[in-house]
Amino acid sequence: MSDERTAGAGRVTLVGGGPGDVGLLTVAARDALATAHVVLYDRLSPHANLRELSPAATLINVGKLPGNHPVSQTGIEDLIVSHALAGAHVVRLKGGDPYVFGRGSEEVLACHANGIPVSVLSGVTSALAVPAAAGIPLTHRGLSHSFTVISGHAPLAVNELQALCLLGGTIVVLMGVGTLPTLTQGLIRHGMTPAMPVAIIENGFSQNQRTTIATLATVLTEAALTKVSSPAVLVIGQVVTLAYSADASAEELMVRASRLTDLVPAAGIGVRGAE
């Protein structure tokens, strides 16, 4: 692709950049970045070596901090549209997958409204990859055959809590640190055992990745003790008993959690570190 921008020839590629590790960028994501004229990137996207990946592009940080939005969603959409209308190939680089709590569809609609060609490249979502980085699978034969990914941005309604308790599978919560108290109390109130294992994985794929393991009953105390903060992925379910970590403190917490919960793992599945 040439560097020439021709009015009317602009286009937009929404790129899911994965949970922060450059190694989890897809080949398609790298190709899109390599041909971008403008890259608009988020705080949780893999932007450490963006200059190498997009050597000729104008790089614009639209990153949002919790409670502090440097560029509003409308502002981001205006930037995407104006650069594309000026003829640029605009790459909108997002953390994880653009269609998992990423507001990607709003940006696609903004492109459609302005007649701009837009494509979406799926990325590795933190909902799956961050638990995996802590050794936690979302499904495991005999332990869980479904998983539900929910946003903790706002407290859940009663019928949602009831449904989650009835479903019995793994629950994955994004943006859930702030609403952890209402979620854990709500699940217990609607029938989930207080002994249900919970993992909180902060800063996945970074130097500061940390796993806290507890139960529904103990997680608030543990989270306060370890001063858990965002970004973090919460996992609630029996699959948490499969967690491992190179971090010794996580192993210790695991042993503690297994004692507290009196867990009876499914046949053939041990609680690591508890033997």
In the complex, minimum distance from the CB of residue 126 to ligand SAH, in angstroms, rounded to a whole number: 3
Answer for the pair 111, 84: CB distance below 8 angstroms, yes or no.
yes
Give the torsion sign (CA, 269, 210, 173, 224). Answer: positive
* Nearer residue to ligand SAH within complex by CB, 127 or 257: 127
Who's near 104: CB < 8 A, 6+ residues apart?
A: 14, 16, 92, 94, 97, 98, 120
* Nearer residue to ligand SAH within complex by CB, 223 or 271: 223
Distances 47 to 10, 16, 30 between C-alpha atoms, Å: 23, 12, 12
Q: Is 196 a known active-site residue?
A: no
* Nearer residue to ligand SAH within complex by CB, 174 or 271: 174
Answer for the pair 16, 97: CB distance below 8 angstroms, yes or no.
yes
Instruction: Find the residue with minimal CB distance to ligand SAH.
Output: 96
Of the residues 97, 175, 196, 254, only one is catalytic, namely: 175
In the complex, minimum distance from the CB of residue 228 to ligand SAH, in angstroms, rounded to a whole number: 11
Distance of CA 257 to the CA centre of its chain: 24
In the complex, minimum distance from the CB of residue 115 to ligand SAH, in angstroms, rounded to a whole number: 26
* Nearer residue to ligand SAH within complex by CB, 44 or 180: 44
Q: Is 64 a known active-site residue?
A: yes
Contacting residues toward ligand SAH, per CB under 6 A: 19-20, 44, 94-97, 100-102, 125-127, 130, 174-175, 203-205, 230-233
Q: Is 1 a known active-site residue?
A: no
Of the residues 1, 3, 21, 42, only one is catalytic, namely: 42
Burial class (CB in 10 A: 0-12, 13-18, 19+), 194: middle
In the complex, minimum distance from the CB of residue 134 to ligand SAH, in angstroms, rounded to a whole number: 10
Residue 111's identity, in one-letter code, is C
In the complex, minimum distance from the CB of residue 68 to ligand SAH, in angstroms, rounded to a whole number: 14
DSSP state letters, 89-158: EEEEEESB-TTSSS-HHHHHHHHHHTT--EEEE----HHHHHHHHTT--S-BTTTBS-EEEEE-SSPPPH
* Nearer residue to ligand SAH within complex by CB, 40 or 44: 44
Catalytic residues: 42, 64, 175
